[in-house]
């Protein structure tokens, strides 16, 4: 902390000087001289081109983020109905503008996604606009500036309220609609009730965003219904980062205490996966990557789910909704198994072994001459 100023703007030069000072004080042999910033004139030590050394890490949703399936469903609907004007909003959901989704045309301000889309409320428009607003932005000013004005002006667009139970983008603080009890704040006020109070007539609530098919069907209905006025979809699922912060210590404690715990894990069958990677183009989860096989007859790497997976099931849901492939599977990992669990496992292994031997006996083989 002594190497960076306590106040003021953390510009690039301030960060460079502070980090350089820290490195020279702790590991001087790795940084022998002054580092010259790219826009700084003068003598100094040229740093290596980090692009050639450090792999790219584009910003995106966290592992298991419940907002990812919302945009996967939006992309699938656009493939069916065509492109729409999409107004984005400040918050985690703004990562929708990044690959693999690349959805969003405008971003005006916190809670102002639907307000900015009001400019496209034309009776001559061939397609309705789609706008997003987070639950934090909704309570900040979206309720009046976006939803209230849409009702007042009879806006015919579609408004998607991304409800992850917190003001997630700023650290997971509680807000009016948070589900958790708070000793000093008033929570558990449903967004749906506030939207109804503003006069919205067409309202749908999805309480599990990972259901990509349901999300897709609801979006399609909102974009094609004959009913006029704003169409509001409240898409609710808890922020996975906050959920893991709450649940992981409890699960670890229960496992250490000898309690039986079942944790779902997802994987990709390497024998079935064709390596077309279509699942990644509709997911983008950091835990879903590629894996090269040792098989000389298969050049393309297959999809692979690593150990950072939190078992949300989004990859499998997307594959099912997009009718991609059956290579995804779910395996339940049982910690502290009971006697019944051990019996079932032994029975399964015996059955599988029997079927494998039976299949091997029916294989066509050629004997040496």
Residue for token pair 């599977």: 329
| 216 and 84 share one domain | yes
In the prediction, which pLDDT does 11 show? 86
CATH number of the domain within which 107 lies: 3.40.50.970
In the prediction, which pLDDT does 310 show? 81
316, pLDDT greater than 80? no
Please give the average per-residue pLDDT across 87-106, as a whole number: 88
Mean of the per-residue pLDDT values of the chain: 85
In the prediction, which pLDDT does 247 show? 87
- 100 close to 108: Cβ distance less than 8 angstroms: no
* 154 alpha-carbon distance from chain centroid: 32
| 118 and 227 share one domain | yes
- At 282, the pLDDT band (50, 70, 90 cuts) reads confident
366 domain-assigned: no
| Of 208, 239, 270, the domain-final residue | 239
- At 195, the pLDDT band (50, 70, 90 cuts) reads very high
| 111 and 234 share one domain | yes
Please give the average per-residue pLDDT across 189-208, as a whole number: 94
94 domain-assigned: yes
| 160 and 223 share one domain | yes
| CA 124/CA 121 separation, integer angstroms | 9
| 141 and 47 share one domain | no
- pLDDT above 90 coverage of the chain, percent: 33
In the prediction, which pLDDT does 111 show? 87
| Of 239, 269, 285, the domain-final residue | 239
18 domain-assigned: yes
| 84 and 32 share one domain | no
Give the domain range for residue 158: 68-239
- At 109, the pLDDT band (50, 70, 90 cuts) reads confident
In the prediction, which pLDDT does 45 show? 52
Candidate from 145-149, 226-230, 320-324, 327-331 with smallest mean pLDDT: 320-324
Residue with the bigger pLDDT between 328 and 351: it is 351
For residue range 212-259, list pLDDT tens digits in order.
Answer: 899 999 999 999 999 999 999 999 999 888 888 888 899 999 999 999
41, pLDDT greater than 60? no
112 domain-assigned: yes
In the prediction, which pLDDT does 292 show? 83
For residue range 180-193, list pLDDT tens digits in order.
Answer: 888 888 999 999 99
- 233 close to 161: Cβ distance less than 8 angstroms: yes
Number of domains in the chain: 3
Phi, psi of 174 (to 5 degrees): -70, 150
Candidate from 38-42, 299-303, 364-368 with smallest mean pLDDT: 38-42
Handedness of CA 63, 67, 69, 73 (dihedral sign): negative
In the prediction, which pLDDT does 194 show? 94
Please give the average per-residue pLDDT across 342-362, as a whole number: 90
- Contacts of 192 by beta carbon, 8 Å cutoff, 6+ apart: 203, 205, 234
Phi, psi of 191 (to 5 degrees): -65, -35
Handedness of CA 70, 214, 312, 294 (dihedral sign): negative
291 domain-assigned: yes
CATH number of the domain within which 277 lies: 3.30.70
In the prediction, which pLDDT does 21 show? 86
| 204 and 96 share one domain | yes
For residue range 46-59, list pLDDT tens digits in order.
Answer: 555 656 666 667 78
| 215 and 307 share one domain | no
Residue for token pair 């889309």: 117
3 domain-assigned: no
| 44 and 90 share one domain | no
| 214 and 290 share one domain | no
């Amino acid at each position: 902390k002594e190497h960076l100023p306590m106040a003021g703007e953390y510009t690039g030069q301030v960060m460079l000087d502070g980090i350089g000072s820290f490195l020279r004080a702790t590991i001087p042999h790795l940084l022998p001289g002054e580092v010259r910033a790219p826009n700084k004139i003068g003598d100094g030590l040229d740093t290596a081109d980090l692009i050639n050394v450090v792999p790219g890490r584009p910003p995106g949703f966290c592992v298991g983020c419940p907002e990812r399936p919302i945009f996967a469903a939006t992309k699938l609907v656009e493939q069916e109905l065509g492109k729409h004007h999409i107004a984005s909003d400040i918050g985690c959901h703004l990562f929708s503008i990044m690959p693999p989704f690349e959805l969003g045309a405008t971003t005006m301000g916190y809670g102002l996604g639907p307000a900015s889309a009001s400019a496209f409320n034309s009776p001559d428009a061939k397609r309705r606009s789609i706008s997003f607003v987070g639950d934090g932005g909704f309570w900040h000013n979206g309720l009046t500036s976006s939803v209230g004005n849409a009702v007042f002006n009879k806006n015919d667009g579609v408004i998607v309220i991304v409800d992850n139970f917190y003001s997630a983008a700023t650290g997971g603080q509680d807000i009016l609609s948070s589900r958790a009890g708070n000793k000093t704040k008033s929570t558990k006020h449903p967004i749906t009730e506030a939207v109804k109070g503003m006069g919205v007539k067409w309202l749908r609530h999805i309480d599990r965003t990972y259901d990509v098919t349901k999300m897709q069907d609801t979006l399609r209905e909102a974009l094609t219904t004959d009913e006029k006025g704003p169409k509001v979809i409240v898409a609710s699922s808890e922020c996975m980062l906050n959920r893991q912060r709450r649940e992981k210590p409890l699960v670890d404690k229960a496992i250490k205490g000898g309690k039986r715990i079942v944790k779902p894990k997802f994987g990709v069958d390497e024998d079935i996966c064709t390596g077309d990677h279509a699942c990644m183009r509709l997911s983008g989860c950091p835990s879903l990557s590629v894996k090269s096989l040792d098989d000389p007859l298969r050049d393309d790497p297959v999809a692979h789910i690593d150990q950072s997976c939190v078992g949300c099931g989004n990859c499998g849901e997307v594959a099912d909704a997009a009718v991609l492939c059956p290579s995804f599977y779910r395996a339940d990992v049982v910690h502290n198994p009971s006697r019944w669990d051990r019996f079932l496992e032994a029975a399964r292994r015996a059955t599988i072994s029997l079927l494998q031997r039976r299949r091997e006996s029916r294989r066509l083989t050629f004997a040496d001459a």
